Amino acid sequence: MNYDEKQNAVSDLQIAYIGGGSRGWAWTFMTDLAMEKNMSGTIRLYDIDMEAAGHNERIGNDLSTREDASGKWNYETYSSLESALTGADFVVISILPGTFDEMAVDVHTPERLGIWQSVGDTAGPGGIMRSLRTLPMFVEIGEAIKKYSPDAWVINYTNPMTLCVKVLYCVFPEIKAFGCCHEVFGTQRVLKGITEQMLGLKDIERSDIHVNVLGINHFTWFDYASYRGIDLFPVYRDYIDSHFEEGFQEKDRSWMNSAFHCAHRVKFDLFKKYGMIAAAGDRHLAEFMPGDLYLKDPETVKSWKFGLTTVDWRKNDLKERLEKSRKLFEREEQVELKPTGEEGILLIKALCGLGRMVSNVNIPNTDGQISNLPVDEVVETNAIFDRNSIRPIMAGSLPQPVLDLIMPHVRVHDKTMRAALSPDLELVVEAFLEDPNVKAKKPSEKDVRLLVIDMLKGTKAYLSKEWEHWI
């Protein structure tokens, strides 16, 4: 990396991109890079699907050479982790552990015990099973980073976020890794919309909604929110008091027409119960709560105005993305150059010394940024990003009622990580029984054990041979 002080720009930046074969995140990344004029360099593409990486290489280079692209990058495909990582300044990880067939097992097999999941990639049985596939991969990636690019900044986009980042630090304690998630941004957009509506304001920038973030990924909370000196908690409370039943509908984000959107009624209900603003999408929040509340059954889910994201929907969405990739590769279409709303590139820019910014980030609680969570847990809080440094902002402590909601998941994380790295069937069973979604349905230990074994069998193609002892 070369820094030009006069131009306030960096060139010859080396970014290793691990994964991205599913294209969605890769295209977002490419778009933001193409719109950043103060950085240039090489994107090193590595994916176990070499064809997918090759497609991204061509799409990325086509985008970079366009006249309307201010950021100029060279995209190259690499055949090994060693070659992709050696000499890298940054490493971006965005992988899908397994296929959607395995995810179908994660999400839908627990339904036989009345356990419903709206996402299935972070909490609950789905999140646990996904971890068993993912964490050994992250051990391999972490060891490779330690060997070939120990000084690189590592940005993770892969779920389950908390455990992925935790394993990287377990493998390589000196690693400079952090996890990025946009769920907080979504809640800032909700606050923006409500504030505009309630106070008669227009065109508020999301970034001007200042918040204090504390919690764990996909189960984050605000205990402070303001806009230009205006305390937004009374505004939020007044809106909920008069709009609780219908919720809040964002423009072009109807919950009835999307597998991802919601009317934010779960957020509203959690605010009424706990006095804090839950800062993730309702689909994620529901999975962290006891399963007899928002995920009791599909009818209950519908009444709270969000949806169960089926794996069939994901498979159809993948088909559409692959078709889009084909059209981009064949140059029948072009990537649309417009801001994505993500902050990953801005964080890279800040770490390169081209600015300073505050954003939410997933890193270990080593500095006690959340004072009443364990220091070895990966937490989500705000942090200051500056030249070659991330300094977590002290977020304070979680109120006891909210802490009581989070701690079962901290225990599940511990059991899941140990189970994935051992491996150990008993720890998986214990993690299932501890999970609030499962626990609230009061299944027998025998039924849970049979469920675990069947789910392990359904994902065995992506598990180590050591699991054969149990399945």
Could you list the active site residues? Answer: 182
Judged on CB neighbours under 10 Å (0-12, 13-18, 19+), 271 is buried
Q: Are the CB atoms for 117 and 295 separated by under 8 Å?
A: yes
Question: CB-based contacts of 136: which residues, under 8 Å, 6+ apart?
Answer: 420, 421, 464
Q: Are the CB atoms for 134 and 158 separated by under 8 Å?
A: yes
**DSSP state, 466?**
G
Q: Are the CB atoms for 111 and 297 separated by under 8 Å?
A: no
**Distance, CA of 385 to CA of 396 (rounded, Å):** 19
Task: Report CA dihedral (373, 227, 361, 72) to the nearest 10 degrees.
Answer: 180
Question: CB-based contacts of 35: which residues, under 8 Å, 6+ apart?
Answer: 69, 70, 71, 337, 339
Bridge partners of 156, per DSSP, are 93, 179
CA-wise closest residue to 396 among 211, 228, 226 = 211
Rg (CA), the chain: 22
Measured at the CA of 89, the angle between CA 214 and CA 148, to 5 degrees, comes to 105
**Distance, CA of 294 to CA of 301 (rounded, Å):** 6
CA atoms within 13 A on the CB side of 195: 24
Measured at the CA of 223, the angle between CA 218 and CA 229, to 5 degrees, comes to 125
State the pairing for strand pair 9-19/39-46. Answer: parallel
Judged on CB neighbours under 10 Å (0-12, 13-18, 19+), 405 is buried
**Distance, CA of 271 to CA of 269 (rounded, Å):** 5
Residue whose token pair is 């994902």: 459
